[in-house]
Amino acid sequence: MAEFVKLEVEDGIGTIRLQRPPMNAINRQLQAELRAAAYEARDRDDVKAVIVYGGEKVFAAGADVKEFAPMDYNAIADYGPELSGAITAIAELPMPTVAAITGYALGGGYELALACDRRICGDNSKVGQPEILLGIIPGAGGTQRLARLVGPAKAKDIVYTGRFVGAEEALAIGMVDQVVAPDDVYKAARDWAGQFTGAASRALAAAKAAIDGGLDGDLANGLKLETALFAALFNTEDRTTGMASFIENGPGKAQFNGR
């Protein structure tokens, strides 16, 4: 039975909830449970979108420094891929994902938010990659996903300084996508995720795979990937349903079954 991470499913939306007070510090147990929750969400037919949420007070303040401070190189060489793999399990979910950020999302916590498709935060939130203040660098996607999100110059500023970025600046430079009142963060995330509970799930998964996969290579190979995924969707029931509905009733009225 998971202690620190729970998957709750309601109305087609899965909420992966972090529950390790007081700051949801990411230790080995939490990251293992996070990976397990991601795999469960991936494999459940009733999960059409996923929210990652740390609760009303804090998203996640980072990795558990007390746990890895005593580690030597050999130990951290084993630990690093475990942490990165847990975050990547969220990034590789085939359905739309959104981080609902309250309070702090720092270090490994912000790397977890980076693994989601969208980030919604409270207007009092602070985000950032402060690992440099510990004499290290981000090790679970912070240098890679952040640079892809906001560009290398802004990513270098955030990583080099280790500063905490307020909500409005984070929105302005693209570190988050929406800022709301702190009490409205989870509702805003549900509103966004709820758009996809009746959508064509395989088409959404293909769109995500095309965008994410295309960013890993050059334009020519990205276009080839897009074409292959586009063609594959012609084997789905939703494609048949969507096109028939469009011809008969116009756009936006199809009832998809996710197959």
* 3-class DSSP assignment, residue 141: coil
Catalytic member of 54, 99, 105, 111: 111
Work out the number of other CB atoms within 10 angstroms of the CB of residue 70.
7
Could you confirm whether 108 is annotated as catalytic?
Answer: yes
Which pair of structure tokens corresponds to residue 122? 């409270």
Look-up of token digits 């999302």: 105
How distant is the alpha carbon of residue 56 from its chain centre? 18
Could you confirm whether 151 is annotated as catalytic?
Answer: no
Name the β-bridge partners of 127. Answer: 105, 165
Name the β-bridge partners of 60. Answer: 105
Phi then psi for residue 163, to 5 deg, are -75, 155
Please report the sign of the dihedral spanned by the C-alpha atoms of residue 136, residue 139, residue 144, residue 145.
negative
**DSSP state, 74?**
H
Catalytic member of 37, 49, 63, 89: 63
CA-angle at 99, arms to 11 and 204, nearest 5°: 60
Catalytic member of 113, 131, 142, 189: 131
Cβ atoms 121, 127 nearer than 8 A: yes
Catalytic member of 54, 62, 107, 108: 108
Q: For residues 198 and 66, what is the distance between their CA atoms, to the nearest angstrom?
A: 44
Residues that are catalytic = 63, 108, 111, 131
